[in-house]
Amino acid sequence: MRTDRHDGVATMSTYPISPAWAFAQFLKRAGWDHYRMLGIHDDEATAMQAVAERLRQALAKQGYAPR
Task: Give pLDDT tens digits for 11-31.
Answer: 555 667 789 999 999 999 999
Asked whether residue 2 is assigned to any structural domain, the reply reads no
Asked whether residue 9 is assigned to any structural domain, the reply reads no
The 8-class DSSP code of residue 1 comes to -
pTM of the model: 0.71
> 6, 63 in Cβ contact below 8 A?
yes
- List pLDDT tens digits, range 23-67: 999 999 999 999 999 999 999 999 999 999 999 999 999 999 988
Reduce the secondary structure of 3-67 to three states and give it as a string.
Answer: EEEECCEEEEECCCCCHHHHHHHHHHHCCHHHHHHHCCCHHHHHHHHHHHHHHHHHHHHCCCCCC
Mean of the pLDDT values across residues 1-20?
A: 64
Structural domain boundaries, residue 22: 17-67
What's the domain count of the chain?
1
